[in-house]
Amino acid sequence: MAFDLKNRWALVTGASVGIGKCLAEQLAEAGANLVLVARREELLNDLAAELEDLRKVQTRVIALDLTAPDAVSELMAQIQDLPVSVLINNAGFAETGPFESTVEKRLLNMLQLNVVFLTQMTRALLPRLLKEPQGARILNVGSLAGYMGVPQMAGYSATKAFVNHFSEALAWELRHSGVRVTSLEPGSTQTEFFEVAGMQGSFMSKINLMPASQVAKAGVRAMIAGRRRLVAGIVNKLGVFALRLSPRWLVGWVVGHLFADLNKA
């Protein structure tokens, strides 16, 4: 039986802007009610009002710093009355530049959000998802950066390698249950990612940028279909294919040159 989002409750982290916002819009278009989670409450309230008016869905706004150690317990407490059956782990950010000059607090916050929170949130909600009689879905937003060690983005690419592989492994573990896990792996996307990461004007912020709405639409389709992995965009798919055929030294040399302008030392 096909997975139907209509009248389901979906939780979207990092829902205020970018891919997260577009994912929320796609879910609402399919009839899902939404728990919208991010730090910026005003942006979440604007999105909630828009989706309630345009799509006639229910929403709940939760303004929360997901890098806080107790973020998962706080979030779970605020959704205990809702039958959430779709989890979208989208929240994340990148810290760039030479590793030795990385601001330690930002590095640890990135690890907390991109890896620890995502893992804890998935584990906390999974028992409820497994009990859903109509099945459930988990969509984790990984990255093309997770396919390689990226110089000047050492920590970030490592976190996304974790997300990519964690999602794939969990998908196999749960294959005999009603829960399907999808890893959405975009490349460069038209979002505020580059501004937050300090990459404005960099070479990578200018090439092969996919609209966030296009990435989100493809991701939601893949999630509904129960696909384990989706590399967004034909150019990115070709890039992953080329990575698999290329020696690692060549990959490192090419990627190192592509990201050379992120060296802030």
Q: Which residue has the tokens 């279909």?
A: 225
DSSP readout, 172-198? HHTTTSSEEEEEEE--SEESTHHHHTT
Q: What is the largest CA-CA distance in the chain?
A: 55
Q: Are 128 and 135 in contact (CB under 8 A)?
A: no
Say what the alpha-carbon torsion angle 207, 218, 44, 41 is, to the nearest 10 degrees: -60
The token pair at 145 is 């950066």
Catalytic residues: 156
Rounded to whole angstroms, the Cα distance separating 89 from 157 reads 17
Those residues whose C-beta lies under 8 Å from the C-beta of residue 250, and which sit 6 or more positions away, are none
Amino acid (1-letter code) at residue 127: P
Rounded to whole angstroms, the Cα distance separating 158 from 146 reads 6
Query: Backbone dihedral region of 237: left (phi > 0), alpha (psi from -120 to 50 degrees) or beta?
Result: alpha
- Pick from 52, 22, 54: which is nearest to 139 by CA? 22
* Element housing 42 (H / E): helix 41-55
The token pair at 146 is 């997770």
Q: Are 37 and 75 in contact (CB under 8 A)?
A: yes
